[in-house]
Amino acid sequence: MKYNPAIHDRHSYRLRGFDNASERSYYLTLNTKYRQQLFGQIVNGKMILNEAGKVAHQCWLDIPLHFPHAQIHAFVIMPDHIHGIIELTKYKGNGRIGLFESPEKTIGSIVRGYKIGVTKWMRNNTEIYEVWQSGYYDHIIRNFPAFCRITDYIYANPKKWNK
C-alpha cells in the first residue's frame, strides 16, 4: 500500500530539505519492535551479547563493506536498541571522486540495509519476524565537541541501563 498521509500516522523527524547523503556525521538510534530485548543483557554495567547481538554487532562492523562511503565510529549494541555514529564521506567509485548521485548512498539506505541484514538472520535462526520499529532516530553532528559528547554517551550507555 502506498503511503497516504490522510490514513497513515507517520511523522518524519528528518530535517526538512536536508540532503541525508551529505558529508557529515550522523548519530543514530535504532529500536527493536516493542522494545524487545533481543540482543543480550546488561550485567554489572556491561553489555553481554547473545547470538543475535553478535550478529547485530558484526552487521554494524560490515557497513563499510557494503557502503564504502560510510565510516563507522562509536557504537553500542544494547538489549533493545543500537546507538551509533556513521560518517558519510565522498563516494569513491571507479577511481573518481564525485558527489552522491543515488539514493542508495543516503543514511536512510544504510540503516535500511543494516536492518535487512539483521532481520534476515533473525528470521532464519529464531522465531522472531518483527525485529525493528519502523524508522529510526538520527541527529546531524555539527561540530567536534558534539561528536565527543555523543561518543561519551554511547560508551556510557550500558552503565546507565538500570537508571
**pLDDT confidence bin for 90, thresholds 50/70/90:** confident
**pLDDT confidence bin for 95, thresholds 50/70/90:** very low
3-state secondary structure of 28: strand
* Average pLDDT, integer, range 97-109: 64
Asked if the model's pLDDT at residue 135 lies above 50, the reply is yes
Domains of the chain: 25-160 (3.30.70.1290)
Q: What is the DSSP string of 106-138?
A: SHHHHHHHHHHHHHHHHHHHSS----B-SS-EE
Instruction: Tell if the pTM clears 0.75, that is, is over it.
Output: yes
Tell me the three-class secondary structure of 53-82, residue by residue.
Answer: HHHHHHHHHCHHHHCCCEEEEEEEECCCEE
Asked if the model's pLDDT at residue 2 lies above 60, the reply is no
**pLDDT confidence bin for 24, thresholds 50/70/90:** confident
Q: Distance (Å, rounded) from C-alpha 152 to C-alpha 138?
A: 17
